């Protein structure tokens, strides 16, 4: 009996701890779409587990897709102002702060001038970065912030088979069949022409892709226009597509080299798209853009393990061809984490390579402003403490020099996070704003960074007005 009582007491204690934990989690449940995200990294990608309160769960359906458990909210109304209030409370706790844009701020005027006529056209932001952007982190909220203010709905450009295909919460993307791949980071043995996203796929007889939107971000829940980018089609090449499990419709592709665009306009807002590329075997397909109306679109181009130096492998002419269709007015370049693995003696080499990258973009997309974002904080463990990697400080200094020498704008992500040893505070914040690798952000941390970038850009925009 004594043993049984002890077991019951232990069980009761465990139950009490579980109940207290759930109550703490519910307290934060109104942060994003009344949801709370917890994460861990596995070989399959970023695992997302969401806990919500009882009433919210009754109005939602739970699904398990690509090893991610998430809640599909059908009646939620997102209030960006309410979200920002909650995020700013957290931001103060972890000492994130507003940091103005420095460097050649006038470089941003091309972007700001384009914003003035946004109601009658589409413009885009290209957001290039390393694994800090994987899963649409930062970009997803940057997109929603700008679309809330300037219009446009839709996730924008999606590569056919990106590195983070199983990590994005803004889209569910399923790729089947055989695809031949070329990438500026993982290799391009067949010398495929590389697209604007740094990736290229070559279709075979059984190649298909399916896109399905999610409820996570208000401005990415549906689309009305589909744009498919390709090259090297022959006179008989066709693709077949369908919306929402409807009838498949065949579309003929334009033959020839050079980047081509196929535009499909849906009769009403759609949430799902299936494309069969089997009758276009041998054609290079670069990506698909999902859009609705005029406004602004933010394209996430993330590279796992990339340092940014291989961006010059995207042919200048191909970039110009893409820009004719996509009209980029701002290019954000956000690399650095992987450069911290280099020896100190190689950082000057890295600087010189990135100088070439900036010049490459200036030639290829002359109508776009360029904003260089520094590396964020990254921790290393010394004895029992996690402290800022000394290479981060050196790298931030070099990135400032890159911006100065190329006469572009600069934003200091390291300072915005709180400077020295800030990553440890982000990891241990409640809820966590960074992962326990002390390198990458959670979606919540990405939201705070996106808000700070938005604030910094809008402050300069108001000055111009």
**Terminal alpha carbon distance of the chain:** 79
Q: Where are the alpha helices (DSSP H) in 344-439?
A: 347-364, 390-406, 413-417, 422-427
Structure tokens at 200: 């290229």
- What pLDDT score does 256 carry? 86
pLDDT at 421 > cutoff 70: yes
Sign of the CA dihedral 29, 34, 35, 36? negative
What is this structure's pTM?
0.81
Q: Where are the domains of the chain?
A: 18-73, 79-152+295-465, 156-293
- pLDDT tens readout for residues 23-32: 444 333 333 3
Spell out a b/e string for 412-441, using b for 16 or more CB atoms within 10 Å of the CB, else e.
bbbbbbbbeebbbbbbebebbbbbeebbbb
In CATH, the number for domain 79-152+295-465 is 3.40.50.1110
pLDDT at 441 > cutoff 80: yes
156-293, CATH topology level: Jelly Rolls (2.60.120)
Q: What H or E segment, with its residue span, contains residue 160?
A: none
- pLDDT tens readout for residues 90-145: 555 545 789 999 999 999 999 999 999 898 999 999 999 999 999 999 999 999 99
**pLDDT interval class at 404 (50, 70, 90):** very high
- Range among 27-31, 53-57, 279-283 with highest mean pLDDT value: 279-283
Mean pLDDT, the chain, as a whole number? 84
pLDDT at 380 > cutoff 70: yes
Distance, in Å, from the CA atom of 384 to the CA atom of 134, rounded to the nearest integer, reads 29
Report the pLDDT averaged over residues 180-206: 96
Report the pLDDT averaged over residues 332-338: 97
Close Cβ partners of 14 (under 8 Å, ≥ 6 residues apart): none
């Amino acid at each position: 009996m004594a043993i049984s009582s002890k077991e019951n007491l232990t069980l009761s204690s465990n139950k009490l701890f579980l109940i207290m934990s759930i109550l703490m989690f519910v307290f934060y449940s109104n942060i994003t779409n009344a949801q709370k995200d917890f994460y861990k990294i596995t070989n399959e990608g970023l695992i997302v587990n969401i806990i919500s309160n009882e009433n919210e769960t009754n109005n939602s359906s739970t699904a398990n897709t690509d090893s991610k458990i998430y809640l599909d909210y059908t009646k939620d109304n997102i209030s960006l102002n309410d979200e920002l209030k909650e995020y700013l409370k957290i931001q103060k706790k972890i000492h994130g702060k507003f940091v103005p844009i420095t460097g050649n701020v006038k470089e941003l005027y091309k972007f700001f001038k384009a914003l003035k006529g946004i109601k009658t056209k589409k413009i885009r932001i290209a957001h290039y970065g390393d694994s800090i952007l994987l899963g649409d982190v930062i970009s997803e909220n940057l997109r929603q912030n700008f679309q809330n203010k300037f219009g446009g709905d839709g996730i924008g450009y999606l590569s056919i088979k990106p590195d983070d295909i199983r990590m994005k919460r803004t889209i569910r993307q399923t790729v089947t069949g055989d695809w031949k791949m070329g990438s500026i980071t993982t290799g391009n043995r067949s010398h495929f022409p590389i697209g604007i996203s740094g990736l290229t796929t070559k279709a075979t007889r059984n190649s298909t892709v399916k896109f399905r939107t999610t409820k996570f971000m208000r401005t990415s829940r549906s689309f009305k226009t589909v744009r498919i980018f390709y090259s090297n089609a022959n006179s008989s090449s066709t693709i077949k597509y369908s919306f929402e499990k409807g009838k498949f419709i065949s579309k003929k592709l334009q033959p020839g080299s050079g980047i081509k665009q196929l535009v499909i306009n849906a009769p009403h807002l759609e949430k799902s798209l299936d494309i069969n590329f089997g009758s276009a075997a041998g054609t290079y397909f670069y990506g698909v853009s999902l859009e609705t109306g005029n406004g602004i679109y933010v394209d996430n181009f993330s590279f796992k393990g990339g340092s940014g130096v291989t961006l010059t492998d995207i042919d200048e002419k191909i970039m110009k061809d893409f820009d004719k269709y996509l009209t980029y007015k701002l290019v954000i370049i956000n690399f650095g984490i992987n450069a911290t693995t280099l020896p100190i003696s190689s950082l000057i080499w890295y600087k010189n390579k990135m100088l070439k990258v900036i010049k490459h973009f200036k030639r290829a997309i002359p109508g776009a402003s360029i904003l260089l974002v520094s590396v964020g904080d990254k921790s290393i463990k010394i004895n029992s403490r996690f402290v800022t990697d000394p290479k981060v400080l050196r790298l931030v200094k070099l990135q400032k020099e890159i911006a100065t020498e190329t006469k572009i704008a600069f934003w200091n992500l390291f300072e915005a996070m709180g400077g020295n040893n800030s990553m440890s505070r982000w990891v241990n914040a409640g809820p966590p704003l960074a992962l326990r690798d002390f390198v990458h952000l959670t979606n919540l941390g990405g939201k705070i960074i996106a808000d700070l970038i938005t604030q910094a850009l809008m402050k300069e925009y108001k000055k111009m007005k």
